[in-house]
Structure 1
Amino acid sequence: MSGYLLAGAVIGGACVVELAARALWRVVVPRRRRMFIDYLLTGRAGELAEEDRELSRPSLMRYRGHPFTAFEPDPDFVAAGGVRIHNNCSFRDSVDYTREYVDSFDLRVYLAGGSTVYDTCVDDNAQTFAALLQDELTRRTGRRVKVFNAGVGNFTSFQSFTRLAAWADFLRPHVVVVYQGINDITPFLYTDVPPKGVRPDLAHSIRPLCVAEVRDRLPRSARWSGLVRLFAALAVSDEDFNIRFHTLGGSHKVHHIGDDTQFALDHIAQRIDYGIIRSHYENIVALCRFRDIPALFLTERLMEGGEWYRPFLDRINDIVRELDRHEGCHVLDFDRLFPADAENFVDAMHFSARGNESRAGFVGAHLAGLFTAGKEAATCSQD
């Protein structure tokens, strides 16, 4: 009988410990970490609460691995309010793309870039730059317009080129708009290879997203044991939440420059190859020219300030300005023409709601002018 009592006491004690661990899980472990570990264990982000908006913006929970671009938006990601903001093709859109849907539009615009196109700081798809630009062009042209938001946070021009190469013949855009710049600096910062180790395909820095590498740190028993899950919270760090740490190489030093901006300046200056960056832009131009798709490149605008990386961006903007020498390629010098008022930005580069409305009107007016000129040219050629 004493054996049964002992076994019962052990089981009872284990249940008490487990219940206590489950209670501590919600009290001691920050919500952000609980959300992330649940994602690692289940493979699903789950529905986010309103207070999770800020936490999910740079999170790898938004993304999944991709064999050629390293990562892409995850179609299964659910944003705050239970809203699905990525479609079946991993574009930022609430509507899935089918052949019939794509062909139903009179004017199709492919918008490529990084987080400032994807609009990381905007939670509602209807308030993104792409959606507002679509509304602006619809109003100005009187046509049925679709703007495909092909932006992906952290994407370089090389990744944007790769994505465009894959989707151009399915989406068949009438114009490609590219807004890149700052992200083309990052492969030359987030790397420890010597200057001679820099590669044109950026493989010295960019690596495929593999969530399994983080998931494997967690014991399998964490799926059902609150106690194990509590200790598993110690196996992940704040870095693990951010997509950058999983898709860009480099040591702790290059990822945490802090106030040591001189180190970053020297590190990039020793490695950056503007010829490689120019090649990636010109590949986009060549792809568009081969398919007779006009391309519009925008120089990148920063809010007024002394950002340490501005000299590198200035050089990249100069590369973009030179692209209009190619037939069928247009450049809108957004950097020089768009107001850099603080009200238009939420930080040095990302746009506020007001900024998105302003740039949609600004770019929309320019695009509408191109469409009108193109239509008139076509009419003249027919005559």
Structure 2
Amino acid sequence: MSRQLKYLMALLLPVFLHVLLFFISIPWGYTLQRLDEALLLLMIVYIVTAGIFAYLLKKHAIKFLVVTYMTLVCLILLEISLRVFFGNSPLLRYHSIALHNPNLSMQALVTKKINGVDDVVKFTTNSLHLRSPEIRNFSDVDISILCIGGSTTECLPVTDSKTWTALLQKELSKKLDKNVYVGNAGKAAMFTVSHKQVLKNYVHLKNFEWIVILCGINDLATFLRDDYDERSTKQESDAVLYYKKLFLVNLLQALHRQNYATQDLGGYYIENRRLKRKNAKILTEIYGDFDLALRRYRKNLLDIIQICREKNKKLIFMTQPTLWHENMSLDLQGMLWQSTLRGSYTPKILAKMMDDYNNVMLDICDQKKVYCLDLAKSLPKNKSVFYDDCHFNNSGCQKISNILSEYLFEKIE
């Protein structure tokens, strides 16, 4: 065996180990994510570089070999140090992409194009990854409620104290004359697959007696964007690959997410999307397998019910309200931004699709004897509730709190 080949084999040993561990840990049907693709590109560059040093820069091959293995040793020592010294740090207890990082504190000016909210939004999360007040001891709480959902639960750009979850805690405590704690586990873009991950993996779920889930809009969004499979794989296989379980990788992910929320605080994203919808082709019929989308939604809701029953949680579903309806005024249509790669569906079609999702929920809850608050039927479709297609302003949050607190009061009493 030539010296060049020996150098090359020694240099490629880490690559062989990586490939072996990768295929051992990868689940069936896994779709590569950006981190996976970046590592694949880095591996290709390394293989080419190793070949160059082994055959073209033979005099420096041994130096490159030493640098390679010293780098690996340093990374291993760093990983061990993180586990030993920072294993209990909340920054490293990264539950999944379905929850915010803990202890966030941000504020921003809100665009004037969003009606019914404060000029400045304050966004904070506590040590439990929730957009809620800090809590140290659940034994002091009489009633604990965890609210799970997407951006309509998260409630940007409504400031902390005016979200419907914060108002619910205040109103229900007064109605019941008890100490009520409401945790807001909402995060923009999360859908029923995400909610299942929270119910399965959230370490603080054990402290909550009631689970309230407002969902549907982001499941519909996966149909409109035709990315259900991609997003489901990302949610379900988060941290399954061996290197995604490393503390160092989790630390870098946590630091990357530490200073921003999924949706921009000030709502400027919505301004751009409104312009995109305005210039898009108008769609008057549904494209894609909508029946498949509804079947997926049905299955995920059934899974959620099963998980809650296994964990002995009291579950309440809420149907998703939207501004969409037939014969919308031009003023209200100007608030919309939902669009697809094909174009923009009419408000009538969007309303029909959302109604179908909500009807799936109502049907399942009736069959399985699960509490369901038909929030979509309880709210008016106007500016007193919404600032865009589906998101609630201050007044809308207050209305939801009034309705839900009364509903929960009856169930708890």
Structure 1 residue 297, shift from structure 2 partner: 0.8
Task: Tell me, yes or no, if structure 1 residue 80 matches structure 2 residue 107.
Answer: yes
Secondary structure at 1:259's aligned position in 2?
coil
Q: Is the 8 A contact 1:188 1:272 kept in 2?
A: no
Q: 1:327: how far off?
A: 5.2
Give the SS at the match of 1:154. coil
Equivalent residue in structure 1 for 2:297, among 259, 277, 281: 277
Letter in 1 for 2:102: P
Asked whether 1:89 is paired with 2:128, we answer yes
How far the C-alpha of 1:173 sits from its partner, in A, is: 1.8
Alpha-carbon offset, residue 348 of structure 1: 2.1
Q: Count residues in correspondence.
A: 259
Task: Write the mapping of 1:239-250 to structure 2, written as runs, cut at 5 A.
Answer: 243=262
- Structure-2 separation of matches of 1:120 and 1:312: 24
CA distance, structure 2, for counterparts of residue 190 and residue 206 of structure 1: 19
- The alpha carbon displacement at 1:358 in A equals 1.1
Structure 2 residue 202 is matched with structure 1 residue 175: no
Q: CA deviation at 1:131?
A: 0.5
Distance 1:77 1:168, change over 3 A: closer
Q: Which amino acid aligns with 1:294?
A: K
Aligned partner (choices 174, 188, 198) of residue 223 of structure 2: 188
| Corresponding position: 1:337 with 2:378 | yes
**Aligned residue in 1 for 2:155:** 119
1:322 deviates by 1.5
Report the secondary structure of 1:344's partner residue.
coil
Q: 1:190 to 1:334 in 2, by over 3 A?
A: same
Question: Which letter does structure 1 place at the counterpart of 2:233?
Answer: A
CA distance in 2, matches of 1:309, 1:244: 22
**What one-letter code is carried by the residue in structure 2 that aligns with 1:75?**
P
Percent identity between the two aligned chains: 18
Alignment of 1:103-252 (within 5 A): 103-123=139-159, 125-167=160-202, 170-191=205-226, 199=229, 202-203=232-233, 243=262
Tell me the residue number matched to 1:361: 402
What amino acid sits opposite 1:70 in the alignment?
A: I
TM-score (norm 1): 0.59
Counterpart in the other structure of 2:315? 295
CA distance in 2, matches of 1:158, 1:287: 12
Residues 108 and 326 of structure 1: CA distance in aligned 2, closer, same or farther (over 3 Å): farther
Distance 2:122 2:310 in 1: 38
Contact 2:192 2:300 in 1 (8 A): yes
Aligned twin of 1:314: 355
Cα distance change on mapping 1:71 and 1:169 into 2, 3 Å: closer
Aligned partners of 1:68 and 1:162 also within 8 Å: no
Deviation at 1:71, TM superposition (A): 4.9
Q: What is the deviation of 1:371? A: 0.7
> How far does the alpha carbon of each residue in 1:65-98 deviate from its partner, in whole angstroms, 9 at most, with x for none?
9987435323354312796601223211241x54
C-alpha deviation, 1:360, in angstroms: 0.2
* Pick aligned residue for 1:305 from 315, 322, 325: 325
Distance apart, 1:304 and its partner CA: 4.8
Unmatched 5+ residue regions in structure 1? Answer: 1-63, 193-197, 210-240, 246-255, 373-383
Cα distance, 1:69–1:323 mapped onto 2, change above 3 Å? farther
Per-residue Cα deviation, 1:171-192 (whole angstroms, up to 9, x for no partner): 4322111111110022233347
1:27-68 deviation per Cα after TM superposition (whole angstroms, max 9, x unaligned): xxxxxxxxxxxxxxxxxxxxxxxxxxxxxxxxxxxxx99987
In 2, Cα distance between equivalents of 1:159 and 1:279: 14
Deviation at 1:328, TM superposition (A): 5.7
> What is the SS of the residue equivalent to 2:181?
strand
CA-atom RMSD in angstroms: 3.6
Question: Which SS does the other structure have where 2:380 is aligned?
Answer: coil
Letter of the structure 2 residue corresponding to residue 356 of structure 1: C
Asked if structure 1 preserves the Cα contact closer than 8 Å seen for 2:144 and 2:182, the reply is yes
Is contact 1:187–1:205 with CA below 8 Å preserved after alignment?
A: no
Distance 2:183 2:262 in 1: 23
Per-residue deviation, 1:134: 0.6
- CA deviation map 1:310-356 (0-9, x unaligned): 22211110111013235561111111222333212111211111111
Determine the C-alpha separation between the residues in 2 that align with 1:72 and 1:304: 28
The letter for the 2-side match of 1:85 is: T
